[in-house]
Amino acid sequence: MSRPIHFLILFLALIWSASAQVTAVNSPTGSVAVGATITTTWSYTPQANAIPGTLRVIDNATKNTFLISSSINLTSQSFSWIAALPTGTYYLAINDGSSNKYSGTFIVYQAGGAAPTPAASSGPQAPSGATPPAQPQSSSTNVGIYIAIAVSGIVVGIVVGVIFSFVGYLAYKKHQDSKFIPTPGNADHNI
């Protein structure tokens, strides 16, 4: 009974250690002009076998999603991109392979115009680390990531199974040898 429990604990620890851990996404401060370069930063706990992250910008009013990059190196904890967006209020979403992590809102305004000041309550906002309301989810861009996770899980399962089978075989052989009573002239066991 204890072997399956040990195997389950080992397996769950392996799964937990393989998942990335983005904990906070920092939004651009104030207002950003269309065409400006934005550096997005986030907090990250490095994990073994980390997969690339996905950065999206989401319109706070319409919930339209703009893919910035689907292959962000999460360990760098920053990514620069150009704000090629229509004017409006937006928030960022980084997917680390487990779920989206959200930033606060920021305003994109037309370059050459006056930068707007953020309103105290400009509709629903995504507080840092919280899930914004009614966000459309698109999993089609993450299909490769999910396939890679599934394949790596299968490979790890096979390797762990082979190792446990070999260890079980050795334990069985040792048990069989301990039951052997040596007799003179026995050809199976040299004493």
CATH assignment of the domain containing 111? 2.60.40.1930
* Domain with 13 in it: 2-138
Residue 171 main-chain phi, psi, to 5 deg: -65, -40
Nearest 10 degrees: CA dihedral of 185, 187, 189, 191? 40
Domain assignment present for residue 190? The answer is no
The pLDDT value recorded for residue 116 is 55
Tell me the pTM: 0.51
In a domain, 99, yes or no: yes
User: Looking at the domain assignment, is residue 51 inside a domain?
Assistant: yes
Per DSSP (E only), the strands in the chain are: 21-26, 31-33, 37-45, 53-59, 65-72, 78-82, 88-95, 100-109
Identify the CA nearest to 58 among candidates 30, 27, 36, 35.
27
Looking at the domain assignment, is residue 162 inside a domain?
A: no
**pLDDT, average across residues 86-114:** 83
In a domain, 158, yes or no: no
Flag whether 146 is in a domain.
no
Tell me if 172 is assigned to some domain: no
Which DSSP letter does residue 29 get?
Answer: S
pLDDT at 129: 45
In angstroms, the CA 55 to CA 82 distance is 13
Question: Which of 10-14, 37-41, 49-53, 133-137 has the highest mean predicted lDDT (pLDDT)?
Answer: 37-41
In the predicted structure, residue 60 carries a pLDDT above the cut 80: yes
8 A C-beta contact, residue 105 and residue 130: no
Q: Per-residue pLDDT averaged across 37-57, rounded?
A: 81
In a domain, 159, yes or no: no
**What are the tokens at 81?**
């991109």
How far is it, in rounded angstroms, from Cα 56 to Cα 64?
Answer: 10
Overall number of domains in the chain: 1
- pLDDT tens string 104-154: 888 888 877 655 554 444 434 444 444 444 444 444 445 667 777 888 889
Angle 164-170-173 (CA atoms, 0-180°, nearest 5)? 140
Overall average pLDDT of the 2-21 stretch: 62
